[in-house]
Amino acid sequence: MTIDPKYKPILLEALEDMMYKLSMQQAKLKGKPLTAERKEITHKQTLVEELQHQISTAAN
């Protein structure tokens, strides 16, 4: 993956905001049964983390 360096900071910031939003959604469900919704949020968090890593380490 090649990303123009001028876009990296804004992409990472957007993903950080998305991760915060997902964490808030997850917090509302804390202590409740592992529903499909919780599984989906967890899956999205994992994908966002992977994407953050890929963008952070992408060649310029």
| pLDDT, tens digit (0-9, with 9 covering 90-100), for 19-46 | 999 999 999 998 888 899 999 999 999 9
Closest CA to 12 of 38, 36, 48: 48
Residue 44 included in any domain: no
- The first and second tokens of residue 2, run together, are 């090649």
CA–CA dist 53, 50 (Å, integer): 5
Domain membership of residue 47 (yes or no) is no
Closest to 25 measured CA to CA, from 42, 12, 49, 5: 42
Mean pLDDT of the residues in the chain: 92
The torsion of the CA quartet 28, 30, 35, 39, rounded to 10 degrees, works out to 90
pTM: 0.85
Among the listed residues 25, 13, 23, the one whose alpha carbon sits nearest the alpha carbon of residue 51: 13
Instruction: State the residue range of the domain holding 4.
Output: 1-28
The total number of structural domains in the chain stands at 1
